[in-house]
Amino acid sequence: MTKPQLTADQQFSRWVRRVCILFCLLFVYYLIADLKMPVTPQAMVERPVIQVSPQVSGNVTRVDVVNNQKVKAGELLFSIDARPYQLALDKAKLALRQAKLTNDELDASIQSARAEIKSTAAVLHQRQRDAQRIAKLYRQHAVSSSREDQAISEEQTAKASYDMAVAKLQGLTVQRGIKGPNNLLLQQAHNQLESAKLNLSYTEVKASQAGVVSNMQLQTGTMADSGKPLLAIVADKIDVVADFREKNLRHVIAGSKALVAFDSHPGVLYDATVEGIDAGVSSGQFSANGVLATPSTSNRWVRDAQRLRVHLKVKDMPELASGARATVQLLPSSMLLSAVAKAQIWAISALHFIY
């Protein structure tokens, strides 16, 4: 018995039902996958970029690295003309010697001032005795009043000379300061010397971290300004970051398992673990600028979901450039769903053979 042949309308209806059923199945799969085994293509490799800036200004006299060269921490990158800073160092050394000579001169002046005090003190005592003797003779009418006035004037002059000598000694003592390495003049000279040595050492610019020199544009003869970056080093430390929607991270904690597929390694999956989730994003950062709030407005019926950044540690991490793209799959605890999630990200990774 032959089956009745379907009309064109019946065949169309059958295909419509099949498409609707397939759509419903895919929609259910999407809901389950989005809730239980989230995946995101918004992931990339990040490596810290160190901007190398000289701490002193001058002409670049030598460049010791080339583009894409691997460098170690402490390796020389380039040099700045050291002649002005060598002269500054020599000047600081002379200033230290001058400070020592100045202290020696002050020590000699202090000794002289002490001797002067003894001399003026002796003169003062003599004038005081003379004044007393003349006053006694004046009371006995043995000398004139002008002689008594002269003796008093000589005593006052001797007293003023003694006071000046004492004040001079005090001034020299203050100017000399304490002896030893804590002397103010020596400390100032030592600080200038150390500053000159430091500036001279800054003429050799070295790598603060190990990494790779990138986008090298520096040439000999370039005028280097203090604090202005001249080249960049991409550090060896690698961090994989992925942006997930908020609802995908409800059950994700540090240590949760994941799989990572890099665009540069299609079909290859790498085991990873979640290191942490950022505490916030830039859209949630506000500053106290004295301006009233600006409520966000949107004409869309459904707003865009907020994404949060997740940091992952990849096992057997390949050597990749900073900015390399990736896809990250969070693995559920269920073995069945975990197997489906692995198949899902492998299929996505395999597509990178095509695009």
Q: Tell me: the pLDDT tens digits for 179-220?
A: 887 888 889 999 999 999 999 999 999 999 899 998 888 999
Residue whose tokens read 């999956």: 269
Is residue 243 within 8 A of residue 217, CB to CB? The reply is no
Residue 287 has what pLDDT? 74
Per-residue pLDDT at 3 exceeds 70: no
CA dihedral 129, 131, 135, 141 (to 10 degrees): 100
Per-residue pLDDT at 39 exceeds 60: yes
Per-residue pLDDT at 252 exceeds 60: yes
Tell which wins on pLDDT, 164 or 135: 164
CA contacts within 13 A on the Cβ side of 124? 17
Q: In the structure, what pLDDT confidence band is assigned to residue 164 with cuts at 50, 70 and 90?
A: very high
Q: What number is the average pLDDT over the span 36-55? A: 90
Per-residue pLDDT at 237 exceeds 90: no
Per-residue pLDDT at 151 exceeds 90: no
Per-residue pLDDT at 95 exceeds 70: yes
Residue 260, CA distances (Å) to 34, 299, 348 in order = 17, 36, 11
- Closest by CA to 71, choosing from 206, 231, 220, is 206
A 10 A CB-CB count for 282 gives 5
Per-residue pLDDT at 1 exceeds 60: no
Name the DSSP letter for residue 55.
S
Q: Tell me: the pLDDT tens digits for 109-142?
A: 889 989 998 998 998 899 888 888 888 887 887 7
Residue 134 has what pLDDT? 84
DSSP H or E stretch at residue 186: helix 184-201
> How many whole angstroms separate alpha carbon 333 and alpha carbon 336?
9
Strand spans (E) along the chain: 39-46, 49-52, 58-63, 70-71, 76-80, 204-206, 211-214, 223-224, 231-235, 239-245, 257-262, 270-277, 307-314, 325-330
Residue 2 has what pLDDT? 59
Q: Which CATH class is domain 54-81+205-228?
A: mainly beta
Any idea which architecture 36-47+237-281+306-355 has in CATH? Beta Barrel (2.40)
Concatenate the DSSP letters of all residues of 244-297 into one string. Answer: EEGGGGTT--TT-EEEEEETTSTT--EEEEEEEE-S--GGG-----SPPP----
Q: How far apart are the first and last CA of the chain?
A: 51
